[in-house]
A = this chain, B = another copy of it.
C-alpha cells in the first residue's frame, strides 16, 4: 500500500506558497520553481499536481476568493439587522483573513490575470456578482429602490479602498479601511457620518 493522499496536502501548500510569492514579488512574475521551493517540493511535483502554471494561479485565486466568501458568510450569519448585514459585508471585506499584504497584492494581480485568462475573468465576475447580490439584499430594506445603485457605489468603493492598499507602504489597517466604506454607507442610509 503506497503512501497516499498527498494530493490535497501538496496542492494546498502550493496554493499558499503561490499567494505568498505573488505578495512578495508584487506581480505574477513568479516562477513555478520559486513557488515550489517555498512549498517545499520540486517544481516537477508542482506540475504533476497542477498541470500548468496557469492552473496554479487559478487555484490560488479560488483560494483567496473562497476565504473571502467564507468570511462574508460567517459575518452575515452573525448579523441580526439589515444594516448589520451590510456592515458585515463591508467589515468582512477588510477582515484580517483577507485584508493582508499578500492577499491584496494577489487580488490586484488577479485583476490583471483576468485580462488574459478567461477562467480568471469568470472567477472575478462571480465574486463581483455575489458581492453585489449580497449588498442589494441587505440594502433593500434600508434604501428601497435605490439598492442597486447604492450597491454599485459601495462595491466600487470597497474595490477602490482595497486596491489603494496595494500602494501604501504600511501594514493594512482593516478597521480604518472599513470605516471609509462605512462612511459612504452611512450617507446612503441617511445617517450623517
Residues in chain A within 8 A of chain B (CB atoms): 25-28, 105, 108-109, 111-116, 121, 124-125, 128, 146, 149, 152-153, 155-164, 166-167, 180-181, 183-184, 187-188, 193
Contact = CB atoms under 8 A, between A and B. Distances in A.
A192 to B, nearest CB: 9
6 closest A-B pairs by CB: A26-B115, A160-B160, A156-B160, A159-B160, A187-B187, A156-B161
Chain A, interface SS category: helix
B153 A164 contact: no
6 contacts: A26-B112, A26-B115, A27-B113, A149-B193, A153-B180, A156-B181
B157 A164 contact: no
A115 B164 contact: no
A167 B114 contact: yes
Given A160-B158, A161-B160, A180-B156, A167 B26 contact: no
A105 to B, nearest CB: 6
Contacts of A163: 111, 159-160, 163
A160 to B, nearest CB: 3
A176 to B, nearest CB: 10
B183 A153 contact: yes
B167 A121 contact: yes
